[in-house]
A and B are shown apart, each in its own frame.
Chain A
């Protein structure tokens, strides 16, 4: 570690350059992969290993006594609805991502053709994605609170009778929160779609124009095929995203009124209720689900592509 580039000073650089290229190569491969791999192992794989290990124990997180309980934690997760049942909440977010991608695709298509105020619309639609998660959570707590933005808006349009306890009613709360998530992430999908669509060479459109293709044909036969891979990638990301929802509901509602997600349960179980063993088992279950989903997705898309 003392012979790090930059840290070791010019003497090291001098002696390094006098080595043969073959020796240099060996040194540099070790040197340049050491820190990245050390970080990767310490903060990705060691936690993974420990997580699996803890999941077989009953442990409060700080006591010296770990009691081996075998698969008890896993049995608890799958038999007690308060743990596994929260996956139902993921369905709201899963559905929301499709709405989100449809909106994103629509705006990306429109804005890839000639439009007045293009840069303004582009900026405004993308900007929410860059905002701080805590700020977004607060903004939407204000948006949904009684007499907040949404209620005032509905009154303005004479729709006052539809006013609800947006974050208090268990039937609606997850729709409100999933809506927030659409607001937050739509811009990301949008900017990716826009980037891909604008990379389609313009002479393809011109040729299509000559052949008498209208906008819909162009969308259907030029745009959709060229962004298919990106859509597939986004579907994968959104499924694992929907399973791992955390920040927005955690800050906005703390998981109250049936808005708790599996990750909120995991974090609460471990850190709030001091059940580290059970929390770890939940994390393992989550990881396995994410891996399974990714594998299935990959297989499906590969077969379709072939």
Chain B
């Protein structure tokens, strides 16, 4: 009796897990199938049929070259590297002074960062657009870089949490050796913040790689397109050519998949720490 009950729940458990995995994978797998199909094959098969030739890369070639994906990836890498590097540097700096020093205006700064989260990002674009325009940054990479670089309260919190865990005695003994605050920050705090930096790197990196509307609004110029906007352009000319669009989708997803498989552990940690702390 006990055994039968156990088996029943076991079936239920694995059944639901398989169903969940199926639901998560099916939309992706179908797109993978489609990306290898030829025009005629598209017409003569249903969405669920696997392709006849798994090595038919014609659609990938067309998507990659006609979609100017090289430009997209190059711009994404530039924007991503500079804005994450900048965000991490200034994020650790502000977190350092907020966690180590008591000074007037400290709470005001915290409150300013906290309140900024409430402002729904897309809507202020109406006014942000004017500011970027006034600064003469419209249609430059600097626009997206500056907009992504701004630190958010979540990164600041993560850094503060970690800095608070670093013993103050380390700072004090460095001060006995005559180290300046800059040296303490650069030689002690930053190296010990590595796990927090990895967390922010991953969370922000995913957000920037996937962001659509900032490059869409601020860098509409053809040679400034990023991966997202390059893919979005497929909507017009390839309207019904789903085999080309599918190849484009797979090209955009592939780097995410590789990053996920190779950094799995850090990615999970990144997201739990990013949200819970």
Contact = CB atoms under 8 A, between A and B. Distances in A.
Contacts of A122: 268
B123 A25 contact: no
B120 A43 contact: no
Given A17-B183, A29-B97, A115-B17, A149 B48 contact: yes
B267 interface: yes
A135 B271 contact: no
A275 to B, nearest CB: 10
A133 interface: yes
B62 to A, nearest CB: 16
User: Do most interface residues of chain B lie in helix, strand or loop, or is the interface mixed?
Assistant: helix
A290 interface: yes
Contacts of B90: 35-36, 39
A291 B174 CA distance: 45
Given A110-B13, A156-B48, A40 B116 contact: yes
A225 interface: no
B180 A13 contact: yes
B21 A192 contact: no
Contact of B94 (A32, A116, A127): A32
Contacts of A294: 118
Nearest to A190: B20
Contacts of B181: 21, 24-25, 28
B127 A54 contact: yes
Interface in B172-205: 175, 178-183, 185-186
Contacts of B73: none
B220 to A, nearest CB: 11
Given A17-B178, A110-B13, A263 B118 contact: no
A280 interface: yes
A171 B268 CA distance: 38
Given A115-B13, A266-B123, A287-B120, A36 B231 contact: no
Contacts of A46: 127, 131
A107 interface: yes
A110 to B, nearest CB: 6
Interface stretch (A72-80, A90-98, A140-148, A201-209): A140-148
B170 interface: no
Contacts, number: 265
A48 B127 contact: yes
Nearest to B240: A145
B146 A39 contact: yes
B252 A192 contact: no
B126 interface: yes
Given A17-B180, A267-B125, A294-B118, A192 B276 contact: yes
B128 interface: yes
Interface in B227-277: 227-229, 231-232, 234-235, 242, 245-246, 248-249, 252-253, 256-257, 260, 264, 267-268, 271-272, 275-276
Interface string A74-116: 0000000000000000000000000000010011001100011
A196 interface: yes
Contact of B124 (A48, A121, A135): A48
Given A48-B119, A147-B47, A267-B125, A251 B260 contact: no
Interface string B205-216: 010011111000
Nearest to A116: B14
A255 interface: no
Nearest to B31: A139
A5 B124 contact: no
Interface stretch (B22-30, B53-61, B160-168): B22-30
Contact of B20 (A107, A119, A153, A194): A107
A270 interface: yes
A1 interface: no
A63 interface: no
Contacts of A135: 231, 249, 252-253
A40 B113 contact: yes
B96 A42 contact: no
B117 to A, nearest CB: 9
A244 B27 contact: no
A273 to B, nearest CB: 12
A107 B13 CA distance: 9
B150 interface: yes
A95 to B, nearest CB: 18
B112 interface: yes
Given A5-B182, A21-B175, A123-B264, A33 B119 contact: no
5 contacts: A28-B101, A40-B112, A51-B126, A140-B27, A270-B126
**What are the 5 tightest A-B residue pairs by CB atom distance, in nearest-first order?**
A195-B272, A17-B180, A283-B123, A47-B127, A32-B93
Given A132-B253, A142-B245, A149-B48, 5 more contacts: A36-B91, A43-B146, A51-B126, A271-B129, A287-B120
